Chain A
């Protein structure tokens, strides 16, 4: 498979994760997801599971689920922030380090956005931009460095938690896609680092 196509698929995977983790899906999004087919690989099976789950739910119950998981009363069942997963507390050093990297990449906070930047959805969106080739040309970390610093320490644990959260139905299927995809990305970046070390 040519590298372009691999990167396009990676970007699509990251985009779907970013889209569904940043807000509840609409009926139209669910309809499109339900049509996705998957092959017999682990990731393909996870995608088939997500398509099945998208067909079984509707926008209203997905929104309810999203609220229970990520918003909640007081807090949601999960706290999808890097700082919380790495240190046990929100807004700690991992967030500060991420802000430094975002500043070097030239990514600024939109006015009115009060959610900390170390949320999973934003990190996935940045990885998608890297995979599309929109990022990583100027100063700032390469995509491998960015992934190793801000996602690798906790993304697998987060998707494991999302798969096991009490309210998760549709999102448990998304968590399985995320888990498989993160595993592939982790291996991919490790291979790339090995190749660089040899070369």
Chain B
């Protein structure tokens, strides 16, 4: 059974008028909503007079993994705590998609190196902060990562390797010895 918790969210993004005629509009994650608005994904919500568009990108699921609890505590210690949101195809409102939503700062910052993603660290809504703090408090001990590997003793133990010749009489059924001296 997984101990992970999921929280439904909605992601909003803004795009600004391009500064030159050669640049296009790029959507940047701007805020989170709970609960999601009654709109289909990728719908424009508003356009200001100076051309700033606000889009509803779609619903997302924030997954809290027990293994990330220590990282979440580091996140909560920041002022303010943040949620990292990354968008794929952020330059095209028709194809834009939510790539990841995470409360783990390390996972969030790691996405910043991907040139295909547009990443933003958004302030964590206060309700979410309490929820994540409660979750992180459930796993105070950091789980140690243990790589499973065959120990040298196991590798050298001939009993753990299949025998080259199966000994006689090993097989169930007792067919061995029929018609043999």
State the A residues within 8 Å of B (CB). 61, 68, 72-79, 84-85, 88-89, 157, 161, 164-167
Residue of B nearest to A164 (CB): B165
Q: Is the CB of B171 within 8 A of A72?
A: yes
Which residues of chain A are within 8 angstroms of B165 by Cβ–Cβ distance? Answer: 77-78, 161, 164-166
Q: In the complex, which residues of chain B have a beta carbon less than 8 angstroms from the beta carbon of A89? A: 161
- For residue A196, give the distance in angstroms from its CB to the closest CB of chain B: 34
Q: Report the minimal beta-carbon distance from A58 to chain B, rounded to whole angstroms.
A: 12
Is B171 touching A88 in the complex (CB atoms < 8 A)? no
Asked whether B173 lies within 8 Å of A76 as measured between CB atoms, the reply is no
* Distance between B159 CB and nearest chain A CB, rounded to angstroms: 12
Give bound CA distance, A165 to B162, whole Å: 15
Q: Are B176 and A75 in contact (CB under 8 A)?
A: no
User: Would you call A161 and B164 a contact (CB within 8 A)?
Assistant: yes
A85 x B164 contact (CB < 8 A): yes
CA distance A79 to B169 in the complex (A): 17
Total A-B residue pairs with C-beta atoms closer than 8 Å?
38
> Which partner residue on chain A sits nearest B173 by CB separation?
A73
Q: How far is the CB of B86 from chain A (nearest CB, A)?
A: 38
Give the CA-CA distance A84 to B176 in the complex, in Å. 25
- 15 further interface pairs, Cβ-Cβ under 8 Å (given A88-B161, A165-B165): A61-B179, A68-B175, A72-B166, A72-B171, A73-B171, A73-B172, A75-B166, A77-B165, A77-B166, A79-B162, A85-B164, A161-B165, A166-B165, A166-B167, A166-B168
How far, in angstroms, from A88 to B162 measured CA to CA in the complex? Answer: 7
Instruction: Kindly name the residue among B161, B165, B168, B176 whose own CB sees the greatest number of chain A CB atoms within 10 A.
Output: B165
Q: Which residues of B contact A84 (CB under 8 A)?
A: 162, 164
- Cα of A161 to Cα of B164 in the assembled complex, Å: 8
- B118 CB to closest chain A CB (Å) equals 41
Q: Which residues of A contact B162 (CB under 8 A)?
A: 75, 79, 84, 88
Q: Is the CB of A78 within 8 A of B168?
A: no
A-B contact pairs, 10 of them (CB 8 A): A61-B179, A74-B171, A75-B162, A77-B165, A78-B164, A78-B166, A79-B164, A84-B162, A84-B164, A167-B176
Give Cα distance in the complex from A79 to B179, angstroms: 25
**Shortest CB–CB separation between residue A72 and chain B, in angstroms?**
7
- Closest 5 CB pairs between A and B? A166-B168, A77-B166, A88-B161, A161-B165, A165-B165
Please give the distance in Å from B157's CB to the nearest CB on chain A. Answer: 11
Q: Which residue of B lies closest to A162 (CB)?
A: B165
